[in-house]
Each structure stands twice: as structure tokens, then as C-alpha cells.
Amino acid sequence: MAEVIKATLGELGRDLGSNKLIPALSLGLIFGVQLLVFSVSMAAGIFTGPLAPYLSAGVGLLLFGYCAMVSVAALGSEFRGAVAGAPLPSVMMLVAITTTVDLEGRALYTTVVATALIGTMAVGACFFAIGHFRLARFLRFIPYPVSGGFVAGTGGLACLVGFRLLGITLEENGWLSTIDAGTALKLSIGLAYGLGLFVVMKFWKSFLIFPASFLIGAVAFQLGLAAYGMSGDEARAAGLLFSFSSGGGVWPPIGPADMQYIDWTQFAGQIPNVLILFTVTLVCVAMNLGGLEVAANVDLDWNREFRVTGLANFVTGLGGAPPGCLIASASIRNFLLGATTRLTGLFTALALTAALLAGDALSSLFPVPLVAGVLLFLGLTMMDSWLVGTWRRLAWTDYSIILIMFATIVAFGFLEGVGIGMLITSAIFVISLSRLDVVHSRFTMRDRQSRKTRPVPERAILFGEGERVQAYRLRGYLFFGSAYRLADQLKLSLKEDPPPACILLNFEGVSGLDLSAVNALVRFLRAADAEGVGVVLASASERLETALETELPPAVWAEIVHEHDEDYALEQCEEIVLAKWRSQLESEEHLRDTLLERVADDFARHLERQAFIEEFLEELGERMESREYGAGETMVAAGLPCDGLQILREGQASQFDSNGTRISQLSPGDVIEPRGAFDTSPVALTTIAVEPCRTAVLGPEARTRLEQSHAQRMLEFYQYLFTADATVVSDPASG
């Protein structure tokens, strides 16, 4: 910790003497003025109605919160020039809390402040835990329409609060309250300022427009009051200026003596709202961090940012302020204008501290219509961005979610709005995912067979019966939507004419599955067993196999074949097809004659090749080295130099790549590593004896001697190697 403090102080000292000082000071003070206006505006939205007498303390509460948040974020954030504060959604949530506390007077005020204090500290503790346990990565995936509906709804609530400040409310019968002359004056000024600022900011994006327009408007408003001969007390009585309970300080908001006024029963009833406050602020944190990364083209450590935000909220909560987070728009502005230093946030905090120490004398000069206009401006900006700016860019389903969430938040609140948004988004996701075909590809045994070497008759049988083996490569996550569609598709294939002899399901590309998917597969496996169709599972997870074994009758489970990869699964399918063909042969003798006619030419060529290699080995075998291998013994190891070509005389062997996948199976007459007769380059495939094997080895030296003494025979041997239907397996990279 001491090293961190020392490094931070050193960084601040260097920045004070650099060219970053002037931009940091300028932007820090300007943003301080902007946050001062926000603080008064937000406090006016929260401390209204029964809480209006405590507006002075409310302003101090917001000022302290912004000051603490800005200071901690400036010193701790990874992003130099970071600025933080209470986002409008969190403030609007605090407005919702004040309307649900059923108290009056000092008890209402202290209970609301206690709720904000404990709620903000709890939010800070949760954020710090998220960062500490490195859980922030799970928060990068908030659905875009949900974020949009959330922000648009916040804008709608801000406009409602602004109209309430202007005296426009809904009566119990649903009609607007009566608008008298005083209300009409405030409404015209507030609408003119809010709408005017919104229009101007649409065309001119300078961040100076907002604080400058507010200060000029406030001065002009005071001059207008003086011109009409209206005193401050008369303006406050008319609702044109804010009324404060005293002309003293705005801090602290409560003292030890106020503890007796806290209604803990009412506080307990606010726990659900505190949970919503946490959720709302969490969404704001994720949206601001993501927006800052995109705009500044940086990769932030979200876990660190959550720890810093958690600490900032914990400190902010000590003063009873609403929770906050990093503000992307202001931080990006500092980045673009060269104020990439921690000094920017510290200068902002100093400006807010000065306002806090000045008391409510400064805040009392803020006109109510202009403050309400600020809320209207913020609300219109949010609604414009997400209700107007997205309707051409988004699919109708996404835009509908934004509209529904907006209407729900404005009419009922954040919990209902976010809840219905997540519900609709989840439903659309499930429907879209269920439409995704989980079958990545489908093939039959005519398209692909296993790498097991088989006699000519068996190859002919498998080719002829190949359409009766159907293989499915599955992918993605299997859940109730996609799994039942797959099961129906598989059960439909059982009714084909002729019916399949075997169905292979390859789960290598499946990332997971739920219980509904298991039930759907169980239904298919029962149907396949009833139809006498064999089923082979490849690369099924242990969890899936355990679930299937539990759900299936033992007799059905025993008939299912399991293999660790597709090649061995295909080999098992071939065995099933051959077994069924042999059993069919007992009742249909003509199949034997048909097979003999079909394989006659191929069998003759096979016999000729076998005869040649036997003659070749009988004539020249004594001039080659003879080797023997036991079952399971490595004949050729990948990565080691090859000391010669090997001709398999007896037994069977298999070749595997570096992943352990079987590439081919070899039988007598096949050649292992033919390139070994010409050089000693390292080999790519490992060859292992499946059963005891005997080979004849032809190395480079022996080959040279035989080419000189038996040139014609060696030419015939080379022709044997390169004949199209010879089984030759070598290094795939050799070309």
C-alpha cells in the first residue's frame, strides 16, 4: 500500500509540472460547475413534496457524494482522467424510494437518508466483491435492447420529475392538475430552457454550452426578478426559487441525535428497492465501462474498476448519497482534450468541496424552472438516443423491447421494466436458439467410412449398405427447444424405407445440455431400440452417459455402443451393418452370389497385389531386415527419424496423429512410411501394432543396393506403392 501511495503521489507531482496541468485545471473546474448544477437538480427531484423542507441538506448530500466519488475514482481508476458520479438512473431510483416511505417530517427524512446510506454502502461492498473475486467478466454481456430500454425509461422518469418540479402532476382521476398563472410561467420557462438546450446540443456538441447556458440563464432570471421588483422571498413563495429550511450549511445531512427518528420497519420494507438500486447501478457501471473502452480504444481491467467503484461507493455511502460509477462521457472528453491525468478529477472534487463549504447560499440562487429544464434536457437526450436514434438501426424485435421497457419503467418502475425486458429478451433468445440447427452436418457410410482396413468383400458390403448408416455431427448447447426438434428428426428417420441399420450421434461439438435434452434423447433411444436400429454415441460426455444410463432401461442401455471419437464409432457402425448382412444372408442365399459378382474385379486386383508383394518378399525379403512387434508396441514414433520403409507381412497396425486420432489401419501388404526408403526425416504419424506384427524393413542403403542388382523388380515395387488403390500412409506434409 505504501508503494502504491508513493507511486501515485509521484505521478501527481510529475503531472503538476507537465503540460497536462492547464487542461486538467480547466476541465476540472468546468465539470465541477456542471456537477454542482446536477446536484441541485437531482436534489430538487428527490427532496420534493414532503421532503422539500430538507432540500438544503439534500443538496449537501449530493455534493458530498459527487465529491467522494470523483476523488476515489480519480486516484484509483486505471483510466487517467476518469470522472465519476451518481448516474441519473440511480438518482431516479432514490426518487422511487422516497415515494414509498410512508412517514412524515423528520422521520421521513432520516429514514430516507439511512436507506440511501446503508444501500449505497451495500452496493459498494457488492461491487468490491465482484472485483475481488474477478467476476466482472460475466457482466460484459448485458443485452443491448435491455440497456437501451433501461436508459430510455430513465429519461422518461427524469422528464416526469422535471414536470413535477414545474407543478405539473397527475390527479387521482388521471387528469393533469390545474395550471394557474404561476405554474404556466414556470412551465414556459422550464420548457423553453430544456427544449432549447436540447435542440442546441443536437447541433453543437460543445460541453461548455450546458454550464454556460445555465449560469447565463440564472443571472438573467435574477435580473428579471429585480426588474419586476420581486424580492427573493416573494420568488420563493411563488415557487420560482428554492426554499431552504435555513440559510446555514448543507452538511452534515444528519447527526447522532437523528438516529431516534429512523423507522427501521420502514427501512426493512425498502430492501427490495435497495436490490433494484444495486441492479440499476450495476447496469450503469457496465454500460459506462464498455462505452469508455470503445470510445478511447483501451482495454480496462474491469475487476480493478469494480474494486475502485466499490470503494468509492462505500465512502459515498457514509454521507448518505446515492451510489455512482465512472461517467464515460466526461472521462472521454478529458481523454480527447489532453487532460489524461488524475489531477482532473481532483480539481473537480476541490470545486465541489468549495460549493459544499459555501452552504446553501449559492444553491438558493438557482431558479426552479431552470433546474426543471435541466431534468427535461437530460430526459429528452436519453430518449432521443434510444427511442429515436435506434429505430432505424435495430431489428423490430430489439426496438420493441426498448419501447416496452420504456413504457413499463415510466408507468410502473425500474424493477418491472428491467424484469419484463430480461424476460422478453430471454424468450427471444430461446426461440432463436431453438431455430438453430444443432446438426452441424450429416453423412452416410457411402460418404465416409472408418479408417479400419477391411477385406474387399466387406468393403463392397459396406458400400452397398452405406445409406443405411446415418451419422449426425451435433453442435452447440442442447436444450428443450433444440433437443426435441432433433429427437423428432431422428425418430422420423426410423420410418424411412429401408430403415437405417445404425445411427451415429457425434457429440464432439456439443458444449452442454439440460435435463430436457436428456429426456428427448431418451425418447429417441427407446424408439430406436423398439425398431431394432443400432445406435452408436461418439464423444459423449460423462455427464450425458451417466444421465442416459439412469433414465434408460438396462436392456436398452446395454445395446448402445460408446466410442471416444468418430472414427472408432464408424467402425462400430460398420460392424453392426456387417452383422445384420450376415444374419440376412442365412435367409437370402442370393445375396452371396450378388456379392461375388460385385467384387469379382476388385477381388482379382486385390489378389494380384497380394501375389506380387508375396513374390517380392519371397525373392528379396532375405536382403531386408526383419522386425517383430508385440500387440500395443510402437512400431514408428512421431517426431523421430525414420530408419526405413516397412512392409507389413503379418498382423494389423494403426497410425495416429499427434492428437491420438486414428488416421488409418494397416494390414498385410501395406507399407509404413514409404519415404523412409529414401531419407531419414522425422515422421509425423505414430504407428502402433494392434496385434503381433512382423515387417520387412527397406532402408536407404538396402534400396540403393537392390536398385543396382534388381532394377526391374524395384520398378515394379515402386509401381505397387503408387497404384491408386494401394494402402499407402506417410507423412501428410510430404506432399
Q: What percent of the chain has pLDDT over 70?
A: 91
Q: Closest Cα to residue 376, out of 223, 574, 548, 157?
A: 157
Residue 594: pLDDT above 70? no
- Compute, in degrees rounded to 10, the torsion defined by CA atoms 345, 347, 348, 351: 160
Are residues 627 and 549 located together in one domain of the fold? no
Residues 522 and 544 in one domain: yes
Residue 596 lies in a domain: no
CATH number of the domain within which 502 lies = 3.30.750.24
Q: What is the total residue count of the chain?
A: 735
| Spatial distance between the Cα atoms of 89 and 161, rounded to a whole number of angstroms | 12
CB 508 within 8 A of CB 538: yes
Asked whether residue 291 is domain-assigned, the answer is: yes
The closest alpha carbon to 332, from 207, 210, 154, belongs to 207
> Are 46 and 169 in the same domain?
yes
Domain count, the chain: 3
Q: Does residue 553 sit in the same domain as residue 622?
A: no
Q: Please, is 648 exposed, middle or buried when counting C-beta atoms within 10 Å of its C-beta (0-12, 13-18, 19+)?
A: buried
**Residue 626 three-state SS:** strand
457-512 pLDDT tens trace: 777 778 778 888 999 999 988 887 788 888 989 999 998 888 899 999 999 999 88
Query: Quick check: is 525 in a domain?
Result: yes
User: What tens digit of pLDDT does each residue of 47-80 get?
Assistant: 888 888 888 888 888 889 889 999 999 999 999 9
Statement to judge: residues 319 and 415 lie in one domain: yes
Q: What pTM did the predictor assign?
A: 0.62
Query: 431558479: which residue's cell?
Result: 367
Residue 642 and residue 683 in contact, taking contact as beta carbons nearer than 8 Å: yes
526 within a domain of the structure (yes/no): yes
Report DSSP state, residue 319: T
Domain of 310, in residue numbers: 2-426
| C-alpha cell at position 468 | 443405411
Q: Is residue 624 domain-resident? A: yes
- Each residue's pLDDT tens digit, 387-407: 988 888 888 888 999 999 999
Per the CB < 8 A criterion, the answer to whether 42 and 98 are in contact is no
On the question of pLDDT at 730 being above 70, the answer is no
Do 447 and 489 have their domain in common? yes
CATH number of the domain residue 676 falls in: 2.60.120.10
Task: Give me the phi and psi of 614, to 5 degrees please.
Answer: -65, -40
All three cell numbers of 87: 448516474
Least trusted range by pLDDT, from 192-196, 226-230, 535-539: 226-230
Asked if 529 and 646 sit in the same domain, the reply is no
Pair (668, 689) in one structural domain: yes
Q: Is residue 198 predicted with pLDDT exceeding 60?
A: yes
C-alpha cell belonging to residue 80: 487517467
Contacts with 455 (C-beta within 8 Å, 6 or more apart), sequence order: 606
The distance of Cα 390 from the centroid of its chain, to the nearest Å, equals 22
Same domain, 406 and 514: no
Is 595 within the bounds of a domain? Answer: no
Strand partners, 653: 666, 689
**207-260 residue pLDDT tens:** 678 788 888 988 998 898 888 888 888 888 888 887 655 444 456 677 778 888
Shared domain for 26 and 68, answered yes or no, is yes
* Beta strands per DSSP E along 404-555: 439-444, 469-478, 502-513, 534-538
According to the model, what pLDDT value does residue 549 have? 93
pLDDT at 733: 35
Question: In the listed set 378, 401, 426, which residue is the last one of a domain according to the structure?
Answer: 426
At which of 542, 564, 588 does a domain end?
588
Check if the beta carbon of residue 151 is closer than 8 Å to that of residue 390.
no
Q: Which residue has the higher pLDDT, 294 or 277?
A: 277
In percent, how much of the chain has pLDDT > 90? Answer: 33
Mean pLDDT of 599-610: 69
- Packed helices 144-165 and 21-46: angle between N→C axes, nearest 10 degrees: 70
694 Cβ contact list (under 8 Å, min separation 6)? 626, 627, 628, 629, 648, 649, 650, 651
- Which of 426, 453, 482 terminates a domain? The answer is 426
Same-domain pairing of 315 and 419 = yes
CB-based burial label for 655 (10 Å; 0-12, 13-18, 19+): buried
Residues 339 and 387 placed together within one structural domain of the fold: yes
Q: With respect to residue 355, please indicate whether it lies within any of the assigned structural domains.
A: yes
Which of the four pLDDT bands, split at 50, 70 and 90, describes residue 422? confident
The Cα 214–Cα 390 span in angstroms is 29
Mean pLDDT of 645-655: 92
The better pLDDT of the pair 410, 311 is held by 311
The answer as to whether 106 is a domain residue is yes
* Average pLDDT value for the chain: 85
